[in-house]
Chain A
Amino acid sequence: GEDVEQSLFLSVREGDSSVINCTYTDSSSTYLYWYKQEPGAGLQLLTYIFSNMDMKQDQRLTVLLNKKDKHLSLRIADTQTGDSAIYFCAPRGPSGGYQKVTFGTGTKLQVIP
């Protein structure tokens, strides 16, 4: 099955850019999602990218996909304290069934004022 890895922790200063990285194993993943989880809250879909794209920009968020290396990243420009949360990389793909999303370990982003 799919294996998804992320670094556990990232600390940035307010106003700087944050880059959260993710590696996955299933090259046939079709959609790659980023979810945000604030303390005690549910999972909020932030953005996603189709596997046939290299980059997607959505306001302060930029997603980069390197299919060859099976590497996905999420860049948050001008990081704010409200961005402090856990970010999950979550590919969706045929090896787990089209309906199954596999979540990474999550990266806890701490934004220092």
Chain B
Amino acid sequence: EPEVTQTPSHQVTQMGQEVILRCVPISNHLYFYWYRQILGQKVEFLVSFYNNEISEKSEIFDDQFSVERPDGSNFTLKIRSTKLEDSAMYFCASSEDVNTEAFFGQGTRLTVV
């Protein structure tokens, strides 16, 4: 069964460093998303991406965040200068269409120290 894969599963980084979280969406999907879940809190929407541009973003997705689809398969989330409060599980998701269900990856646990 096709699945969304994320790498790495766990990333530890120092405060102020840049991190790139990687995702390979399901191959025929056209819509891509990033969500995050701070430990013990809700899963929060960050951004959606379609046709090589951001289609929607939340207030959390400020200038320190960016997304990119550098080639035909990867979808990345970059955090420019990490803060302690960026520590969370980051989930990538993809969907075939805007109205179909989103399939989630296993997540990348980001720990900022």
Q: A31-82: which have CB < 8 Å to B?
A: 31, 33, 35, 41-45, 48
Q: Does B106 contact A (CB under 8 A)?
A: yes
A21 to chain B minimum Cβ distance, whole angstroms, is 17
Looking at chain A, what size class is its interface with the partner chain? 20 to 34
Q: Assuming the A-B contacts A100-B45, A101-B45, are A45 and B101 also in contact, with contact meaning beta carbons closer than 8 angstroms in the complex?
A: yes
CA distance A101 to B34 in the complex (A): 11
Interface residues on B, range: 20 to 34
B43 touches A103 (CB 8 A): yes
What total of A-B pairs shows CB separation below 8 Å?
53
Of the candidates A33, A42, A97, which one forms a contact with B105 in the assembled complex, judged by CB atoms under 8 Å apart?
A42
Interchain CA distance A99-B58 in the complex, whole Å: 12
| Most A Cβ at <10 Å: residue of B44, B101, B105 | B101
The residues in B between 38 and 74 inclusive whose CB is less than 8 angstroms from any CB of A are 42-45, 48, 50, 55-56, 58
Q: What's the Cα separation between A35 and B50 when bound, in Å?
A: 23
Please name all residues of chain A whose beta carbon is closer than 8 Å to the beta carbon of B43 when the two chains form the complex. 43, 88, 90, 103, 106
Please give the residue numbers on chain A whose beta carbons come within 8 Å of chain B beta carbons, in ascending order.
Answer: 30-31, 33, 35, 41-45, 48, 88, 90, 96-106
